[in-house]
Amino acid sequence: MDITKEYILMCEKAEEIQKQWSSKQCWGGPSGRQGSFVYNPKHGIRLLYWSEHHGSPHKDYLGRQSIWLPRQDQLQDLLQMGFGAQIDGVGKIYLANIHKIGFGLTWEQLWLAFVMQEKYSKQWLTDKKEWVKI
C-alpha cells in the first residue's frame, strides 16, 4: 500500500475520488476485506474497518481533514470496466509517462492516474502537484 507523501497529495487533490469514499469500503475481519486507509495530518495513517459491534466508520472519525487513500483494488472497482481493458489502459499511461515519472512510481499512483483519466479526463502534473483537465 502506497503511503508516500506524493500519493497522499495526489489523493487529496483528486476531489472526485474523495467523493467516492464510503463505509462499504471498510469491511474487515472474517469477510477477508482489507478496510480503508485514511490519512489525517493530526492522526497520521489509520486503517478503518466496519464492525458489527461498532457500526460503520465514517471518514470524519479522524476529522474533516481526513483523506481516503484507496488501495489498488478499490481504484479498479471504481472503473467498472473489464479487467483486460483496465490492464491495457494502465499500461498505456505507464508507457506514456515513464520519462516523466522515473522509477518512483507506485501501482496505486499508476491506477489513480488511470482512474482520473478515464472517469474525469484529468492528468496529474508532477511539477505543479495538481490534476488538470485534458
pLDDT for residue 96 is more than 50: yes
pTM reported for the whole predicted model: 0.77
- Give the per-residue pLDDT at 94: 64
Q: Residues near 93 by Cβ (< 8 Å), separated by ≥ 6?
A: 110, 113, 114, 117
Q: Which of 2-11, 15-24, 90-99, 118-127 has the highest mean pLDDT?
A: 2-11
- Give the per-residue pLDDT at 87: 67
10-43 pLDDT per residue, tens: 999 999 999 888 655 555 544 555 678 889 888 8
- Give the per-residue pLDDT at 30: 47
* Average pLDDT of the chain to the nearest whole number: 77
% pLDDT > 70, the chain: 61
pLDDT for residue 99 is more than 60: no
Write down the domain spans for the chain: 71-134
* DSSP tally for the chain: helices H, then strands E: 5, 5
- Distance, in Å, from the CA atom of 36 to the CA atom of 50, rounded to the nearest integer, reads 9
- What end-to-end distance do the CA atoms of the chain give, in Å? 28
Mean pLDDT on 112-122: 91
